[in-house]
Structure 1
Amino acid sequence: MKRRTFLKGSASVLAASIGHSVHATASPRDIRASSGTAQIAPSDYPQTELWAYNGQVPGATLRFRQGDWLEARLINDLQEDTTIHWHGLRLPNDMDGVPGMTQEAVAPGASFDYRFQMRDAGTYWYHPHQNSVEQISRGLAGVIIVDEDEQSDVDGEETLVLQDWRMTEEAQIHPSFGNRHDMSHAGRLGNYVTVNGQPEVKGSYPEGARVRLRLVNTATAKILRIALQGWRAWVVALDGMPLGAPYEAETVEIGPAQRVDLIADVTAVEGDEALIASVERGGTFVLATYAVTKGSTTRPAPAPLPPNDMPLVELAPARTVPLVMEGGAMRGLPSGAVWKGEKMDARALAEAGQFWAFNAVAGMTDAPLVEAALGETIRIPMQNKTAFPHAMHLHGMHFREVMQDGSLGPWRDTLVIHGDQTREIVFVAENPGDWMFHCHMASHQMSGMMNWIRVKAT
């Protein structure tokens, strides 16, 4: 592994870095979205103009115990509408933060009060669901940690918030939001990666230390492959939900909006380094370096985390609703698609900024993809006929993947489906309301890949 340098004189500025997690003991009463500046590039570059929650990027980590209540007021000091979506949390529908569906957008100068209980322990995050490509890309994101009643036997914890920025040579956010190349290709891919908004951070742990690593991908398009060296690591939770059986991993893939929790033991020896790195086309680049000091603690493999209270999933009575993804560059929409109730050809769709379709329909529909009775089990096989990956996210509920052998995978709220892949999910419609179901590559969402699911209260 080698360190990445910040390349001058090119629009392809490359860097990767890490910062220590920012811990809050409780939710702040006010969460203020506003513009400002921060030093996210190396110190020989100017500060970057950003949008931030309470003046910091990423926003403060909001920390709770399972069963606590979040009470927060979003104050909008931006010059455009915004909301907060509490990603991955099972909460009441009117708290989900989707403008035009669960609440009105919060206008400049206005505010909105959120209040709900933390049902599930785990790692979650919060971000806007209004003009998501730009607002997240400019810095509006933060982490939520809900601690289990039983604390893990660890010596430390690192919350690593990964963001992929598209920067100019002057270390400013590139203003290319919503361009057609991003919408029709892989999304708004950046050229500068930070962890916790910092250009470089180092830490230290003793030999044998056990650390809980919470990885959160807040990028709008980039799929990250994270490698560990000098650690022995077990994946213990995905998208906040504990695994019944942790498994060892030297690398993990984490798509946009996904979270991965690891319990990792330092195996590097005194005087060496324990590294966390990003595996990319151009090589493997160090994100975090922890100097290793003298120590001797050794432990057995970690036990599973305490499970959350999740519904029983039975495949036999499930109703199947297929979803076919089409469009984008290289494949296109040769048969056209319906947009806003009108059948249109590919050229007309492109002129309207629509490049993708679910079941031959682009964008939001009047009728939901699924209308489910409360407690009904729904299976959705998702066939990706496009050339690009898509990170499908369900609001309000978690799902399990139906594996090829008929077994059920771990609970998740976001699943990456690569080009020409078919993957199937199943969920229990346990949470009444209208819920978004969309690609979390934000450029894809805005250009066709969004739909919704209705769970009837009675």
Structure 2
Amino acid sequence: MDRRQFLLGTAGAGALAAGGYGLWRAADGERAGAGPVELRVRETSYRFGADRPETAGLVSLADGAPPPVLRLKQGQPAHLRLVNGLTDYTTMHWHGIRLPNAMDGVPYLTQFPVGEGEAFDYLFTPPDAGTYWYHPHCMTMRQMAQGLTGILVVEEAEDMGFDADVPLNLKDFRLGDDGQLLPYFTPRGAARGGTLGNVLTTNWQVSPVEDVPAGGLVRLRLAATDTARIYQLVLPDVPGRIIAWDGHPVREEVPWPTADAPLALSPGQRVDVALRMPDADGIELAVVARLGFGQQDMVRLRTVGASLGRDMREVPVLPANPLPVPDLAKAEMQELVFGWTPDGSGADNGLCGNFGYSFWSIDRTPWPGDAVEGVGPVATLKLGRSYVLRLRNESPNAHPIHLHGLVFTPLRSNRRTLPANPTDTVLLQRNEVIDVALVADNPGDWAFHCHVIEHQKTGLAGYVRVV
């Protein structure tokens, strides 16, 4: 499909954009007026600490600041107008949101890339409350490495009664001694676990301090938005529990992470945590990332004010999202194999940042590139039917596997016990086989890929068709 054919096919969506939808703004929680909310992608600069030089060449939706937290309301329409202020092409994907296929932001699969000075209107009504995030799906590696990742919160229809709601965007950057960005892609990293950053940030700050009410109930929303890093997190030793995983309220308990058993949060995944803060003013508690060379406080929570005297028994049970339930008795099994591709040569085509290497594959076939014609789906599912997908990792590296547009539930693993909590991203460990169940309830062509972006861009990608 060429550009003219694509735009003619989406004329109806453009007409719908004139209707006017609202967005809940992150800054003040007030309802936006009629019409779209503009999200303009632009280059900017930022200082990652007072003792660091200013870093140029970053990409955000704000000047001199990280991409904002976007807040929507469950069941209420949103109209987000992406305006491209870069010379690069771009799109925007709303990670984890079950939305119409045409709004999913995947170049050539659901829309044409957005060029310099162009705009695209994303219109959807989020059916599920929870913590999600957004990032480009064109020039993905470059723009994400430059900072274009942000948290998207879909608020429950009713207030959940927390005293503080704290979104935490975990994101690393590769910076030189001069503070400038280092190359974001390395063939060596792409052929292994991915290229890691050397400056770990939370909301673009190094070990920031967040003030929260003493004696209060705090909801932390942690999102791993890196291109490669798998976080090993230790949470504060205070009363608390994990209340949601990848956007959805937990159905089975997730163990509280400790220094001996940290919580693995891989690229694309999110976790919501409820904490009861200490009663005294000025107490600091850390969320700690365990690293190969030591550890780092990703954020410090500092109590302020007189104690609110809350109790963990007051933490609400989050209302279940309206997810379809797979019928396992009638579910059809399909196996997908994730592996290495030894030849190392690949296509370099399209407008969205292929690297000319193929190191990875699905079903032993590497993704040839975003704009290659005649590439079929890795699986075709019938609308409304239940399926079990067997995800088999035949490679020596871990892969966070993400499926767009649908939600699945882990059933079993050959290596560990997995809580049966709905998700859109599962970390497939070395030589692991995981069975997941889903209902093919959302028609369209849905991207299916590893969220280590270098793996995605060097072959470990495809799409699932629901018809």
Q: TM-score range by the shorter chain?
A: 0.7 to 0.9
- Given the alignment of the two structures, is residue 421 of structure 1 paired with residue 425 of structure 2, yes or no? no
- Given the alignment of the two structures, is residue 136 of structure 1 paired with residue 140 of structure 2, yes or no? no
SS of 1:182's equivalent in the other structure is helix
Aligned residues: 420
Moved more, 26-35 or 423-432: 26-35
Distance 2:45 2:126 in 1: 32
SS of 2:88's equivalent in the other structure is coil
Quote the offset at 1:249 in angstroms. Answer: 1.2
- Given the alignment of the two structures, is residue 36 of structure 1 paired with residue 36 of structure 2, yes or no? no
Q: Which has the higher strand share?
A: 1
Give the counterpart of 1:357 among 335, 354, 361. 361
Distance 2:423 2:327 in 1: 17
Quote the offset at 1:200 in angstroms. Answer: 4.4
In structure 2, the partner of 1:317 is 330
Answer whether contact 1:216 1:258 (CA < 8 A) is retained.
yes
Quote the offset at 1:214 in angstroms. Answer: 0.3
SS of 2:330's equivalent in the other structure is coil
For normalisation by structure 1, the TM-score amounts to 0.86
Quote the offset at 1:444 in angstroms. Answer: 0.1
In structure 2, the partner of 1:183 is 190
In structure 1, the partner of 2:60 is 52
Give the counterpart of 2:390 among 381, 386, 389. 381
Q: What is the RMSD of the two structures over their aligned residues, measured on CA atoms?
A: 2.5
Amino acid paired to 2:283: D
Give the counterpart of 2:463 among 439, 449, 452. 452
Residues 54-453 of structure 1: matches in 2 within 5 Å? 54-55=62-63, 57-174=65-182, 176-247=183-254, 249-250=256-257, 251-267=262-278, 269-293=280-304, 294-295=306-307, 297-301=309-313, 302-327=315-340, 333=342, 352-364=356-368, 366-403=375-412, 409-453=420-464
Distance 1:82 1:367 in 2: 24
Distance 1:247 1:304 in 2: 15
Amino acid paired to 1:397: L
For normalisation by structure 2, the TM-score amounts to 0.84
Distance 1:183 1:235 in 2: 32
The 1:60/1:206 distance shift into structure 2, 3 A limit, reads: closer
* Identity among equivalent pairs (%): 31
Distance 1:353 1:41 in 2: 36
Answer whether contact 2:344 2:359 (CA < 8 A) is retained.
no
Q: State the Cα deviation string for residues 232-284 of structure 1 (Å, max 9, x = none).
A: 22111111111135555134221101110111112475553221111112223
Answer whether contact 1:57 1:141 (CA < 8 A) is retained.
no
The 1:407/1:262 distance shift into structure 2, 3 A limit, reads: closer
Amino acid paired to 1:109: G
Quote the offset at 1:179 in angstroms. Answer: 2.5
Amino acid paired to 2:307: G
Distance 1:337 1:424 in 2: 29
Quote the offset at 1:23 in angstroms. Answer: 6.0
Question: Gaps (5+ residues) in structure 1?
Answer: 1-20, 341-350
Quote the offset at 1:161 in angstroms. Answer: 0.6
